[in-house]
Amino acid sequence: MKYTVAVLTMSSKNGGYCVAGVDVKNGNWIRLVSDNVYTHGALSSNNIKYQNGSSCKPLDVVQVPIIGATPLEYQPENVLIDTKECWEKIDTISLKDILKIHPLEYHAVLLGNQYPYITNAGIGKVGHSLILVEVTDLTINHQNERSTKATFTYYDTQYIDISVTDPDYYYVQNQWHTDNAILVMSLPDSPYNGNYYYKFVAKIFPYNNSEISRDT
């Protein structure tokens, strides 16, 4: 079995990659996971390679060999890949065309609340672990070598110090800023220190209003 996936994230996860995107046929979220229990399903650099040796990138459209759906309680989007077969790149896609397949989402709050994490008491009420949202006034800060944080506004609510796992923004200058961005945000499958499920900005797509309109 193979799924055709428009890849949106290649974010950092336990020494590998958290790869997520949307099914081009129906727009549903898919998180591609391995059976590696030590990395909580993160994909290795070998897992994301094509036959020619090149690696998958965000906005690639790929055919991925799949074993089957493997939803977790807090990550219902998970799908187990078949690591015995290579992925096949079909095309590349623009952000504008992604939004035709999977429109921007609206949530009263992002992933359960307006804070950088959600606790055990609230995680069961979220019901999803991936979202695609438009934000404004996005600033990236590097608090130290191992900490990249985002602050942004979503429908008049400010979100402060949300962890960034998009490696493209690990080395931008401190106080990097953009007026408009579309974000993929995610939740982990297990808590930190037993109680805190930290939210991640897994991919940042900055844009200007001439590229993406609100009614796309």
Section 134-154 average pLDDT: 92
158 vs 143, more confident: 158
- The C-alpha torsion from 8 through 165 and 148 to 153, rounded to 10°, is 50
Q: What is the pLDDT of residue 110?
A: 98
pLDDT of residue 189 exceeding 80: yes
172 pLDDT tier (thresholds 50, 70, 90): confident
pLDDT digits (tens, 9 = 90+) for 5-47: 999 999 999 999 999 999 999 999 999 999 999 999 999 999 9
d(CA 97, CA 3): 18
Instruction: List the beta bridge partners of residue 2.
Output: 65
Helix spans in the chain (H): 95-101, 120-123
195: alpha, beta or left? (left if phi > 0; alpha if psi -120 to 50): alpha
pLDDT of residue 210 exceeding 60: no
Section 66-79 average pLDDT: 96
SS3 211: coil
209 pLDDT tier (thresholds 50, 70, 90): low
d(CA 116, CA 50): 35
Degrees to nearest 5, angle at CA 11 with 185 and 143: 80
pLDDT digits (tens, 9 = 90+) for 94-124: 999 999 999 999 999 999 999 999 999 999 9
211 pLDDT tier (thresholds 50, 70, 90): low
Percent of the chain with pLDDT over 90: 88
216 pLDDT tier (thresholds 50, 70, 90): very low
